[in-house]
Amino acid sequence: MLKKALFVSALALSFGAASAASCEVQLEGTDAMTYIYNGKTVTKTTEIVVPASCKEFTMKLKHTGKMPAKTMGHNIVVAKASDIAGIVKDGAKAKDTDYLKPNDARVVAHSKMIGGGEETSVKFDVAKIKGGQFDFFCSYPAHQAKMRGKLVVK
Ligand code: CO
């Protein structure tokens, strides 16, 4: 009886997760200064599809490495591709605010910076990334050279 009840609730949970999955993605961050998405290393040409039907989109990040945020920090920052160089330049010395200039209006959304074994996420309104090329990247110094990909609304 209990087994059956557990099975039914597990089934309900898996259905719930499936219907929410389209407006949510899971990424990993590694000690090798990379993001992993769908089992593959993210590169500048990697596209993450953001369904236009989603009002909000959530990007989850799990740091699967062992290094601390101080030396191998990872976050997810969403911004217009053409703004990223400026965001990175202005955030270079903003160590206390995850290497982002406080209240930088060019940043659409960002998660906190995490280290090995930690998890975080960032959620944003899909309307904010419609029209123009928006990318996601890690704001830890020099990481965006390897930790960056594209968001494509469709
Ligand atoms: Co990083």
Residue 16 pLDDT exceeds 60 = no
pLDDT band with cut points at 50, 70 and 90 for residue 147: very high
CA of 51 to the centre of ligand 1 (A): 26
Cα 15 to averaged position of ligand 1 atoms, centre (Å): 33
Do 114 and 71 form a contact (C-beta atoms < 8 A)? no
Question: For residue 16, how far is its CA from the centre of ligand 1 (angstroms)?
Answer: 31
Number of H helices, E strands in the chain: 3, 10
Q: Which residue, among 81, 83, 79, 67, has the nearest Cα to 32 in the 3D structure?
A: 67
pLDDT band with cut points at 50, 70 and 90 for residue 5:
low
| Residue 17 banded pLDDT, cuts 50, 70, 90 | very low
Ligand 1 centroid distance, CA of 147 (Å): 7
pLDDT of 10 > 70? The answer is no
- Between the CA of 139 and the centroid of ligand 1 the distance, in Å, is 6
Per-residue confidence (pLDDT) for residue 22, from 0 to 100 = 86
Distance 7 CA to ligand 1 centre (A): 39
Going by pLDDT thresholds of 50, 70 and 90, the confidence category of residue 18 is very low
